[in-house]
Structure 1
Amino acid sequence: MKSAFTRNRPLATAVTALVGLPLLLAGCGASSGSAGSENVTEISVMDYYNNEPDKSFIGDALNSCAAEAGVTLKRETVPGKSLISKVLQQSSSKTLPDVLMLDNPDLQQIAATGALAPLSDFKVSTEDFAPGVLSAGTYKDKVYGLAPTVNTIALFYNKDILAKAGVTPPATWDELEAAAAKLTEGDQYGLAFNANPTYEGTWQFLPLMWSNGGDEKNINTPETTQALQLWTDLVKDGSVSSSALNWTQADVNDQFLAGKAAMMVNGPWQIPALSKQPSLQYGVVKIPVREAGQTAVAPLGGEVWTVPQTGNKARQAKAAEIVSCLNSDKNQMSMAKARNTIPSKTSLAETFAKENPKLATFTELVKTARARTGQLGDGWPAQATKIYTAIQAALTGSASPGDALKQAQGQ
């Protein structure tokens, strides 16, 4: 999850007004209900990969798939923050693209409007995808989108700093607190994370909540309170900078790169920046669980590719070929390697981890990673807001973790 709606952006845009929005079907200048025998020569695509190198990586994959399908592409890339509003405008003006990329937490909101076609209508295979990946692309038991690659978050640590302090990478909360305290000295904090008042802050908190048995349907529980107490204690005792309340994940990475944080919570999209500093030796482990034996559960990030309901069956069928091609084994592996993401198919995971050892921990986490919309569907944004509101209240000291969660849940 990056901080500026570029690559691997798991940050959802809260557009609760989408639900129930009437959809006017048609698309791309073609008449509604065009015959399936139409000779389609061009397909339109819209995504938010408007920055390099992802713009080219994705563009190359799209062009390759278009060639296989026998069409040319008319591609539009837009800033991530503008994508959902543009989708709404296009649905009402009958100009939806043939292929649409969505950040996975946004899919349910868009599917609820009737803007997307179930992939089963075009016999697109959904076999072998990790459970969380399918959940992220599913609305009311139908799969509307598939992600060729995904991502999640884990704990990065500076090998040299930990070795000098005689600290081993923590696996439990007690070990994390002890390590963070011991690694804090001078202008160096033991740990850095993002607790800002956005969905990104919620995203970084979810591994603690979920791994401890917390549930997004009701955050006013002992399990979630324990998780928030840990975050609060780390800031209160000085092991984490109070600036975490405003940091983005990019800021967190900057702290780690500068040696001002011995450990950080972040995702694989930071690896290119870390690799530019050869003197930095780092490792990656799962975010610690409260007690040994618990399963580490992380949130699933990544983008899904969909077929909008344009009303033109021939174009939709050709668009489905593009979506299917993007999700082929070959393309999943090549895009994952190029973009420091993880292939979505479980059969590819072991091979990918061996070939890309820096991503092995993330590959393992994806097996049990959860879609944020898996339980609440299009109700997720509202609950995500409650979570980061409670985090802010607890970390600023305006309420205890328990009271902060109780107040936020009641809002």
Structure 2
Amino acid sequence: MTKSSRRRALAVVSAASVALAALAGCSSSNSGGGSGGSGPITLTEMDYYGSAPQNSQIQGVLTQCGNQAGVKVVHQEAPRAQLVPKLLQDAAARTLPDLILVDNPDLQQLATTGGLVSLSANGLTTTGLYPSIVSAGQYQGQTYGIAPGVNDLALYYNKGLFTAAKLTPPTTWAQLTADAKALTSGSRKGIAFSAAATEEGSFQFEPFLWSAGADLKTLASPQAVQALTLWQTLVSGGYASKSVVNWTQSDVEAQFQAGNAAMMVNGPWQLPLLNAAKGLNFGVVSIPVPAAGQPSVSPLGGEVWAVGHTNSAEEAKAVAVVKCLLTPSMSSEWSKDAGYIPSDQASAAALAASDPQLAPFIAEVGTAKARTAELGANYPKVSTALWTAIQQALAGGTSAQAALSQAQSQASGS
């Protein structure tokens, strides 16, 4: 996620149009000189982080790596929903920022413009990183984006409720359904997840889609229908709230923390909030699969760093900053600040051994799939068709088969 939701929740703000206008001329400005001045180079960086703590976190690592590269990095932001359209416009005009941080499924779309610098052609090494993470940043055999840290999804469960009901965390869909039913009582639902009409909805559904053996190229396959039918059963049976079609992942976390859901699907970025909640005793396990013994396949979430074409001096310095961000020490610091998992496999393994809460997430990174792996730059279009189908099935009364068949037609343009 894609995607974390605490950032995506900031996508629509009342001052969005003003903010975008203010950012229109900010790309690749070089107040310090660069190729045309005598002072030190100033690099511009753009992302969709919107809160003060996130700004502080990103500025901290950028300052450290900027100092190593001998540059000043100016952090700027755009509303989540407007970032990619703006960057595509800037790419066409060759006015991209020097450094860009985007949700990993958006990377290939930007790379098609020719406005990004090939990191692999400029000496970036991805040795030791998870292959799926490297894949998420590639386009036509070149690496154009890279993530210091990533996230995925797992199943949180309320230990107290499970103990009282004499249940163990589910590992299969049948157990998940049975546990959700048994734990539904009064205003408390058995499970919560995000089925919103955004990338968050697709992101949360993809573990079920892929674990069933389906793929994004054939949305109406029997395996995909089986996965969406599971979600329909949970909602129609009353084991999950009908409001899931409106919930972000932050909303899901709030429901779980308040005791309104016994289980939830969510990412590791929620751990600091949950650990700070008084009296909440929870555990984390891999997302259940159709049958015992099958791997749980989660989508790879998080953002990638990319470098915009500007001039040779700025590009070289921007690439140096990205290389610094990817070092094991900086990757670990980035991941700690963001609630992510280091992209370096050795660092992630060490973290899994020391932090049991993160262990399920780290285990799933090994089998996680980049959302663009099957579709490349066409992923956003298919994701839109998928979340539309989810909405139709859960809120519109459409059968899973009919909703996904329509999605297949929408995705293929027929």
TM-score (norm 1): 0.90
Match of 1:241 in 2: 241
Partner Cα separation in structure 2 for residue 203 and residue 350 of structure 1: 24
**Does 1:2 find its partner at 2:38?**
no
User: 2:85 is matched with which residue?
Assistant: 85
Report the 3-state secondary structure (helix = DSSP H, G, I; strand = E; otherwise coil) of the residue aligned with 2:7: coil
Deviation of residue 185 (structure 1)?
0.9
Residue in 2 that maps onto 1:199? 199
Which residue does 2:379 correspond to in 1?
A: 380
Q: Given residue 112 of structure 1, which amino acid in structure 2 is its aligned partner?
A: T
Counterpart of 2:59?
59
* 1:41 to partner: Cα distance: 3.0
**1:357 partner amino acid:** P
Q: Deviations over 1:63-118 (max 9, x none)?
A: 01111111222222333223223323433554322111111111011100111011
Alignment of 1:281-320 (within 5 A): 281-310=281-310, 312-320=311-319
1:44 is matched with: 44
Separation in 2, partners of 1:135, 1:51: 29
Of 203-212 and 87-96, more deviation after overlay is shown by 87-96
**Deviation of 1:313 (Å):** 1.1
> Match for residue 20 of structure 2?
none
Q: CA deviation at 1:152?
A: 0.9
Residue in 1 aligned with 2:140? 140
Say whether the 8 Å CA contact 1:2–1:269 is kept in structure 2: yes
Task: Tell me, yes or no, if the aligned pair for 2:195 and 2:246 is still in contact at 8 Å.
Answer: yes
Deviations 1:157-214 (A, max 9, x none): 0000111011100000011011011101111111111112222111111001101110
Q: CA deviation at 1:140?
A: 1.3
Separation (CA, whole Å) in 1 of partners of 2:72 and 2:371: 35
The aligned counterpart of 1:28 is: 29
Residues 307-350 of structure 1 deviation map (CA, whole Å, 9 limit, x = unaligned) = 1111x112111110000000100011122122211001112111
Structure 2 residues not aligned, in runs of 5+: 12-26
Deviation at 1:396, TM superposition (A): 3.0
SS in 1 for 2:5: coil
Say if 1:133 and 1:344, in contact at 8 Å, map to a contact too. yes
d(CA) in 1 for partners of 2:198, 2:403? 16
Displacement of 1:29: 5.8
What is the CA distance between 1:7 and its match in structure 2?
Answer: 9.3
1:72: which partner in 2? Answer: 72
| Distance verdict in 2 for CA 1:63–1:7, change over 3 Å | farther
State the TM-score, normalized to the length of structure 2.
Answer: 0.89
Q: 1:85 to 1:403 in 2, by over 3 A?
A: closer
Summarize the Cα distance change of 1:125–1:337 in structure 2 as closer, same or farther, 3 Å threshold. same
Aligned amino acid, residue 356 of structure 2: P
Residue 404 in structure 1 maps to residue 406 in structure 2: no
Q: Hey, what does 1:14 align to over in structure 2?
A: none
User: Residue 3 of structure 1: CA displacement?
Assistant: 3.1
2:14 alignment partner in structure 1 = none
**Fraction of identical pairs, as percent:** 45
Equivalent residue, structure 2, for 1:332:
331
Using the alignment, how far apart are the partners of 1:47 and 1:342 within structure 2?
A: 19
Bigger drift between 144-153 and 335-344 goes to 335-344
- Taking only aligned residues, the RMSD between alpha carbons, in angstroms, comes to 2.3
Worse-superposed segment, 240-249 or 173-182: 240-249
| Structure 1 Cα separation of the partners of residues 266 and 30 of structure 2 | 43
Q: Quick check: 359-368 or 295-304, which moved more?
A: 359-368
**What amino acid sits opposite 1:121 in the alignment?**
A
**Unmatched runs of 5 consecutive residues or more in structure 1:** 10-25
Aligned to 1:259: 259
**In 2, distance between residues paired with 1:240 and 1:182?**
12
Q: Does residue 151 in structure 1 map to residue 151 in structure 2? A: yes
Please say if residues 340 and 359 of structure 1, whose CA atoms lie closer than 8 Å, have aligned partners that are also in contact.
no
What is the CA–CA distance in structure 2 between the aligned matches of 1:340 and 1:128, rounded to whole Å?
21
Give me the whole-angstrom Cα distance separating, in 2, the residues matched to 1:198 and 1:172.
27
Q: What SS is found at the alignment partner of 1:210?
A: helix
Give the aligned partner of residue 24 of structure 2. none
Counterparts of residues 353-392 of structure 1 (less than 5 Å): 353-392=352-391
Q: 1:70 to 1:87 in 2, by over 3 A?
A: same
| Number of positions where the alignment pairs a residue of Structure 1 with one of Structure 2 | 391
Q: Does the 8 Å contact 2:192/2:264 carry over to 1? A: yes
Contact 1:207 1:298 in 2 (8 A): yes
User: Post-superposition shift, 1:8?
Assistant: 12
1:44 deviates by 2.1
